[in-house]
Amino acid sequence: MTLPNILFTINGNSHSVGSQTVNLTEDRGLAYGHGLFETLLFSQSALPLIDRHLLRLIPDSHLLGISLQSGDVQHYLNLFLEALSDQSITDGVIKIMVTAGSGGRGYKMPDTIIPSLIFSYNPLPEDTAKHRKQGVDVRLCEHFIGNGSTLAGIKHLNRLDQVIARSEWSHDKYADGIMLSVNGDVVEATSANIFVKTKEGKWITPTLDQSGVSGVMRGLLIDRIFPACDLSVSEASLTLDELLMSQQILLCNSVKGILRVNSVSSAMDKQLLALPSDHQSLMLCEKLMELYPHYQ
Amino acid sequence: MTLPNILFTINGNSHSVGSQTVNLTEDRGLAYGHGLFETLLFSQSALPLIDRHLLRLIPDSHLLGISLQSGDVQHYLNLFLEALSDQSITDGVIKIMVTAGSGGRGYKMPDTIIPSLIFSYNPLPEDTAKHRKQGVDVRLCEHFIGNGSTLAGIKHLNRLDQVIARSEWSHDKYADGIMLSVNGDVVEATSANIFVKTKEGKWITPTLDQSGVSGVMRGLLIDRIFPACDLSVSEASLTLDELLMSQQILLCNSVKGILRVNSVSSAMDKQLLALPSDHQSLMLCEKLMELYPHYQ
């Protein structure tokens, strides 16, 4: 078994762990985006969805040729939590980045991959409480998300589409932007998945077989939150027209939880849709906070 | 003007240059693949296509929000060449990597981007002389290249498609693999562009408006090598069927130059096409070596 190289970063200060050091200059994560990441809510010294994060990270890393063991990640994560505890840090965001390490010849992977495992901590985004309480305004992005990738669903390090889409606006009016595929289908927001209550009153979330990230919070909503509210939800394709006729829109990710969308504007700042919250949206948000109080 | 942070790497040994150091752990190149790279042939202490590399790198970096100045790159490149000279290194491959540096909030870019500029040196791939002389065998990749990206053409750091495609075979029988888009169109090889002499005797190279890298050597072939041979060449879509009925196939990149393709096999190792070299292919290869002797 190959032990990963480890790096800890707390508020921008990095230090290596153990004898093996990470040489990021030659790292395949930097060179090609050959790796994955998880972004975890760290609340009152707990990681409420850690099991779901690991259940995604480990099999997806294998899809990229990185044979990571769950036990190893857990072991170093525990050391990282101790390092945070030593600094009296109890709340924020923990990012786990896994790359294919260095080596190989160009795109060709080395015979033995020694993964790089990077744990970093940053404070919770300032607007988190406000967004959870008041909901958010969003806009449509002009930049399309690439389509037809067999890597769809994986939270890999190739995220230029999201970077370019997020660069379309710089003010704080919009919390996020909704991204469409080249086919005109709604895929996700730049940093969140999306759930929609259609004109007909059905809850759906876009299928992610062509592009997009299969989010941990998205999975939780489908598996636990919707059933706990006695609401059915299904994965389906969603056109822009259907989005703009919807009764409710929710964004979700593993850091912020569920965010009600109050309005959708065009890329030209024209409001296309206003959405007063309904009792089903509120019930879903409250159910998450009831079952997972860390998202309060 | 914002000066970039600089890192030099020679055969895996890195060192910072100047007072500002590159913190790769927080670098947007690692986090999102927010950056670009150039791979240059370094031959007899010269960089034969440096002008073309810079003419691609600078405008493409601006497309990713990185306001890099050609003079800065040239300045640090000269320092890097001095460092190589100090070690009596005269031949090999120089990689210039440009990233958006650190900062920003998630996908959102920082207000001021301080680019990271990483120069690295590695020896020429061992098989270069053999491939130039004898040509290469290639296979078809099963992994499709994502389609419909407005980032098509840019040599950015989001290269997972190429990594996954290159992982489909591990032996040395095939020098490269040909990648198709989800539409079934031929796009490029994992690390080279492709030129085809069709059944009708016309030379074409796939259009790269949907995906693929607009290679420096590809540009040189179109602008200089084909005209110097009195051959016309055009950009066009190319189906797999057309590829498999072609009379000649050439691969090209800025390190290896032009490589004749001797055979194309399926992903199941079945030879689909054998291509004895014709005088036009040989003439194109010879013209490159005549005009750019570093590719001999």
Q: What is the DSSP string of B138-186?
A: EEE-SSPBPB--TTTB--BS--HHHHHHHTT--SSS-SEEEEEBTTSBE
- A31 contact residues in B (CB cutoff 8 A): 37, 97, 157, 159
- A149 contact residues in B (CB cutoff 8 A): 144, 146, 161
Name the packing angle between helices A70-86 and A50-63 (round to 10°): 130
* Nearest residue in chain A measured CA to CA from B24: A24
| Cβ neighbours around B95 below 10 Å, total | 16
| Nearby residues of A31 by Cβ (< 8 Å), 6 or more positions away | B37, B97, B157, B159
CA distance B200 to chain A (A): 31
Q: Which of A211, A208, A207, A220 is nearest to A256 (CA)?
A: A220
- B120 contact residues in A (CB cutoff 8 A): 25-26
For residue B21, the model assigns a pLDDT of 66
CA distance B206 to chain A (A): 19
Interface-testing mutation among B154, B158, B256, with chain A (most A C-beta atoms within 10 A): B158
Instruction: List, by residue range, all CATH 3.30.470.10 domains of chain B.
Output: 5-122
Instruction: List, by residue range, all CATH 3.20.10.10 domains of chain A.
Output: 128-295
- In chain B, what is the straight-line distance between the N-terminal and C-terminal CA atoms, in Å? 41
- Mean pLDDT per block of 10 residues along chain B (296 residues) reads 78 74 86 98 97 97 94 94 95 97 92 93 94 97 85 95 96 95 94 98 96 97 98 98 97 98 97 95 98 97
- In chain A, what is the straight-line distance between the N-terminal and C-terminal CA atoms, in Å? 41
For residue A128, the model assigns a pLDDT of 95
For residue B147, the model assigns a pLDDT of 74
* Long-range contacts of the stretch B127-130 (C-beta < 8 A, 24+): B127/B172, B127/B175, B128/B255, B128/B256
Could you say which residues of chain A have pLDDT below 50? none
Interface-testing mutation among B28, B30, B150, with chain A (most A C-beta atoms within 10 A): B30
B129 torsion bin: left (phi>0), alpha (psi -120 to 50), beta (else)? alpha
For residue A2, the model assigns a pLDDT of 65
CATH number of A128-295: 3.20.10.10
- B115 contact residues in A (CB cutoff 8 A): none
For residue B276, the model assigns a pLDDT of 93
Please indicate whether, in this complex, the C-beta atoms of A148 and B147 are within 8 angstroms of each other.
yes
Interface-testing mutation among B24, B187, B208, B254, with chain A (most A C-beta atoms within 10 A): B24
* Nearest residue in chain A measured CA to CA from B7: A25
- Secondary structure (3-state) at B38: strand
Please indicate whether, in this complex, the C-beta atoms of A24 and B27 are within 8 angstroms of each other.
yes
- A109 contact residues in B (CB cutoff 8 A): 163, 166-167
Calculate ∠ Cα B42-B43-B49, nearest 5°.
Answer: 60
> Residue B220 and residue B213: Cα distance in Å, rounded?
14
For residue A199, the model assigns a pLDDT of 97
Residues B29/B66, Cβ–Cβ less than 8 Å: no
Please indicate whether, in this complex, the C-beta atoms of A147 and B182 are within 8 angstroms of each other.
yes
> Residue A172 and residue B105: Cα distance in Å, rounded?
12
Interface-testing mutation among A6, A32, A182, A190, with chain B (most B C-beta atoms within 10 A): A32
Please indicate whether, in this complex, the C-beta atoms of B182 and A31 are within 8 angstroms of each other.
no
Please indicate whether, in this complex, the C-beta atoms of A147 and B148 are within 8 angstroms of each other.
yes
Please indicate whether, in this complex, the C-beta atoms of A160 and B162 are within 8 angstroms of each other.
no
Strands of A199-256, DSSP E: 203-206, 233-236, 248-253
What kind and span of H or E run contains A179?
Answer: strand A176-180
- A163 contact residues in B (CB cutoff 8 A): 28, 32, 34, 64-65, 100, 107, 109
CB-nearest to B150 from A31, A144, A159 is A144
Q: To which residue do tokens 């930049």 refer?
A: A143
Domain B5-122: state its class: alpha beta
pTM of the model: 0.95
CA distance A24 to chain B (A): 6
Interface-testing mutation among A8, A15, A158, A173, with chain B (most B C-beta atoms within 10 A): A158
- A65 contact residues in B (CB cutoff 8 A): 167
- A111 contact residues in B (CB cutoff 8 A): 170
CB-nearest to A163 from B14, B34, B111 is B34
For residue B146, the model assigns a pLDDT of 80
CB-nearest to B191 from A97, A106, A166 is A106
